[in-house]
Structure 1
Amino acid sequence: MRVVIADDHKLILDGLRRALEDDGGFEVVGQTQTGTEVISLVSETKPDLVVLDVRMPQMDGLACLDEIKGRFPDVKVVMLSASTSQDLVDTALRRGASAYVIKSIDPTDLPATLRQAAAGTVISAVGTAETAAPGAKAAGLTDREVEILGALSRGLSNDQIAKELWVTQQTVKFHLTNVYRKLGVRNRAEALRKAFQLGFVESPLYADDD
């Protein structure tokens, strides 16, 4: 997937590029720290998707979003921001963004989010702990970790979860390892029992495999 990335902080740009290149399924065809350069980059490189910071000098992300959707309607746009304001999320999605990603997102979750956005799935705020269930938040679990626990409670295997969430099996195992550590358990059966007790899965399907 061909991607243009734009953020006014070089550290964020470098992190985005590294996360996408490490995944192996993306080619970063352009990057910039200013809003005014985004449109020319999109015109020159013809990307499939643009990852766009909301706050940028010279031309902010929402203005860039309007310009991209007006001139290049087939290009998907994912907004990136440190803000969790619901008004800002709603505004970005209403104006044509395919996803709104909080900068606190786990870098390993970013490629899957971009794939979902490119596939036409409109996503709300991704990467904010506020959307997790209270018990999950207290346990320190991320939205993605809760999502994987929910998939486990439906009886899905690691391979099935990977396909459903558009991630690799290795990524699923990575998240499960973190879940086990945070919940103080040793395997998925114990994790599901604990998640059920804490109230963020509806049914504990006691699987015996790890």
Structure 2
Amino acid sequence: MRVLIADDHPLILQSLKAAVDSAEDFEVIAETDSGPHVLPLVNRTRPDLVLMDVQMPGMDGLQCLDLIRERHPDTKVVLISAGGDPAQVQVALRRGAAGYLRKSIAPAEIPSALRHAVTGDAYFPIGGTESAEEHIARTAGLTTRELEILKSLAVGMSNKQISAEHFVTEQTVKFHLSNIYRKLSVSNRAEAVRFALEQGLVTRRDAGPG
């Protein structure tokens, strides 16, 4: 897996490079500390994956994400940030990020997180102070994408609506639902909705018919 890394902090850039290069199935082929340099590097090196800081001078990670998704739709983009504002995470995922990491992640966990992103699970690892939803997801073994699909399911969305909401195919929705049922040890939508209600992911007022 050919990786391009972008971060404006030299020490973090080198740390990310070392962590990625430590895995036999990843190779860092380019690096930059400047947002405006990201797309030209992607054009020239054609990486499989871009690991990129959200905050960079000249052009931030979300702007770069939009350009990469538009011009190189097969290239995966994983964003990394010192913070982990849930609203910002959801904006990034909706705009096509394959994953969102916190800089508090242990370097040894980075290759595993990137593998999750590459295989289609939008990945948001726990690091620092976690929210209640993050705690639920971690305890149940749910990825961020699975947690969001569970919440969409719980408010009564059909597979088709979930597909449109999260910019994935209906087949991918079915795949995620199967994983959710397995991880929660439930058998169907109604039991999954009950779990979401019991854990406070949705209120009874918001919950769909299940």
Question: TM class by shorter-chain length?
Answer: 0.5 to 0.7
Q: Per the alignment, in what secondary structure is the counterpart of residue 22 of structure 2?
A: helix
Match of 1:108 in 2: 108
Paired with 1:127 and 1:77, the residues of 2 have a C-alpha distance of: 19
Equivalent residue, structure 2, for 1:40: 40
Count of residues in Structure 1 that have an aligned counterpart in Structure 2? 136
For the residues of structure 2 that align with 1:88 and 1:27, how far apart are their CA atoms? 28
Q: Matched residue of 2:115: which SS? A: helix
Kindly state the Cα deviation for residue 115 of structure 1 after the two structures are TM-superposed.
1.0
Q: TM-score, normalised by structure 2?
A: 0.62
Q: Distance in 2 between matches of 1:15 and 1:31?
A: 12
Q: Percent identity?
A: 47
Trace 1:17-166 onto structure 2 (pairs within 5 A): 17-123=17-123, 125-129=124-128, 130=130, 131-132=134-135
Per-residue CA deviations over 1:151-195 (Å, capped at 9, x if unaligned) read xxxxxxxxxxxxxxxxxxxxxxxxxxxxxxxxxxxxxxxxxxxxx
Structure-1 residue corresponding to 2:5: 5
Alpha-carbon distance in 1 for matches of 2:49, 2:126: 19
* Partner Cα distance (2:31, 2:48) in 1: 14
Contact map agreement 1:106 1:127 (CA 8 A) in 2? no
Distance apart, 1:101 and its partner CA:
0.3
CA distance in 1, matches of 2:84, 2:22: 27
Task: Tell me, yes or no, if the aligned pair for 1:103 and 1:127 is still in contact at 8 Å.
Answer: no
Deviation >2 Å, runs of 4+: none
Gaps of 5+ in 2: 142-210
Contact 1:36–1:59 (8 Å) recurs in 2: yes
Q: Which amino acid aligns with 2:127?
A: T
Q: Distance in 2 between matches of 1:91 and 1:12?
A: 24
> What secondary structure is seen at the aligned counterpart in 2 of 1:51?
strand
SS at match of 1:127: coil
Matched to 2:80, the amino acid is L
In the TM superposition, what is the alpha-carbon distance from 1:94 to its structure 2 partner? 0.6
Q: Deviations over 1:23-54 (max 9, x none)?
A: 22211010000000000111111110000100
Tell me which amino acid in the other structure corresponds to 2:7. Answer: D
Give SS of 2:50's match. Answer: strand
Q: Pairwise CA RMSD of aligned residues?
A: 1.6
Q: In structure 2, what is the Cα distance between the partners aligned to 1:118 and 1:84?
A: 21
